[in-house]
């Protein structure tokens, strides 16, 4: 998922951009770095790694002053994540520690800031790669979905990831902790991720239809899970999937009616 999202981030000086981009000033990130004396910090290649979760296991709570600073910076990161899709997963993890942040949370926050320090010029460009015909009445929405399994070490809940494309450009994405614990990675966790992509696609579809910009909108959900695809396309449940919440089985009806492919 990270590889898909990173492909739409372009530098200000990119030769593919013919007009100057109006984007967020790099001073926004600089101010966050100054608050932690990280202006000259070593750059990180990624927003975070799984190694941090395994190597750092400090439950020591931050002092009241550090706690206040942590909440302030995470709030700024939450705002930034709306235009920097590549940090959504990392910011989601930091947000879960807002009540009682530990040294572990602060270390992960610094890793994310070191990544931002090296990628300050990046901006998400909403630039269609597919130019529709003036008389075209049918459009396609492509949603790419994926999930981990029991990724949260505390709650053992999985995370759903979704990137939604329209006219060849990324218009929205989400990294969301699943509401229930998935008992299987191949079917249940992936099905919940598919449900996230379907619900967001239906919202964009309704906007296009109600604005009369299109008479028909095709929704295509892309997943690398054969088991998840099988569960979404067949009707009903099996003995192993009776525990799956009924609200996710509406996907089967949408597939059967041809609304979702």
State whether residue 79 is helix, strand or coil: helix
pLDDT tens digits, 44-92: 999 987 665 554 456 789 999 999 999 999 999 999 998 888 999 999 9
Report how far apart, in Å, the C-alpha atoms of 256 and of each of 26, 93, 236 are: 48, 36, 12
Q: What angle do CA 219, 223, 226 make, to 5 degrees?
A: 120
Q: What pLDDT is stored for residue 1 in this prediction?
A: 36
Query: With a cut of 70, which residues of the chain have pLDDT below it?
Result: 1-24, 50-58, 185-186, 235-247
Q: What is the pLDDT of residue 232?
A: 84
pLDDT at 39: 93
- For residue 156, the model assigns a pLDDT of 82
Write down the pLDDT at residue 9: 38
C-alpha–C-alpha distance, residues 122 and 83, integer Å = 10
pLDDT of 245: 59
How far is CA 180 from each of CA 14, 107, 143, 163, 231, rounded to the nearest angstrom?
42, 28, 22, 21, 18
Q: What pLDDT does residue 119 have?
A: 92
Sign of the alpha-carbon dihedral angle for 77, 82, 88, 92: positive
pLDDT in the model for residue 122: 83
Domains of the chain in sequence order: 2-124 (no CATH), 138-257 (3.30.420.10)
Both tokens of 209, joined, read: 């239809």
- 94 Cβ neighbours under 8 A, 6+ residues apart: 74, 77, 105, 108, 109, 112
């Amino acid at each position: 998922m990270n590889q898909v999202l990173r492909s739409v981030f372009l530098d200000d000086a990119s030769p593919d951009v013919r007009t100057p981009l109006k984007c967020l000033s790099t001073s926004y990130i600089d101010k966050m770095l100054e608050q932690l004396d990280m202006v000259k910090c070593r750059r990180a290649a990624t927003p975070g790694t799984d190694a941090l979760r395994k190597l750092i296991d400090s439950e020591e709570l931050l002092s009241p002053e550090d706690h206040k600073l942590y909440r302030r910076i995470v709030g700024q990161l939450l705002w930034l994540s709306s235009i920097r899709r590549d940090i959504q997963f990392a910011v989601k993890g930091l947000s879960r520690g807002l009540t009682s942040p530990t040294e572990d949370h602060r270390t992960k926050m610094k890793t994310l800031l070191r990544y931002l320090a090296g990628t300050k010029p990046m901006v998400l460009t909403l630039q269609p790669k597919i130019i529709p015909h003036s008389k075209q009445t049918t459009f396609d929405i492509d949603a790419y979905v994926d999930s981990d399994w029991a990724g949260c070490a505390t709650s053992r809940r999985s995370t759903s990831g979704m990137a939604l494309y329209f006219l060849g450009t990324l218009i929205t994405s989400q990294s969301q902790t699943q509401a229930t614990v998935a008992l299987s990675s191949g079917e249940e966790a992936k099905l919940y991720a598919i449900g996230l992509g379907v619900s967001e696609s239906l919202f964009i579809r309704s906007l296009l239809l109600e604005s009369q910009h299109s008479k028909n909108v095709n929704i295509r959900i892309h997943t690398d899970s054969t088991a998840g695809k099988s569960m979404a396309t067949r009707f009903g449940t099996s003995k192993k999937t009776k525990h799956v919440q009924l609200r996710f089985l509406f996907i089967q009806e949408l597939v059967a009616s041809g609304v979702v492919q």
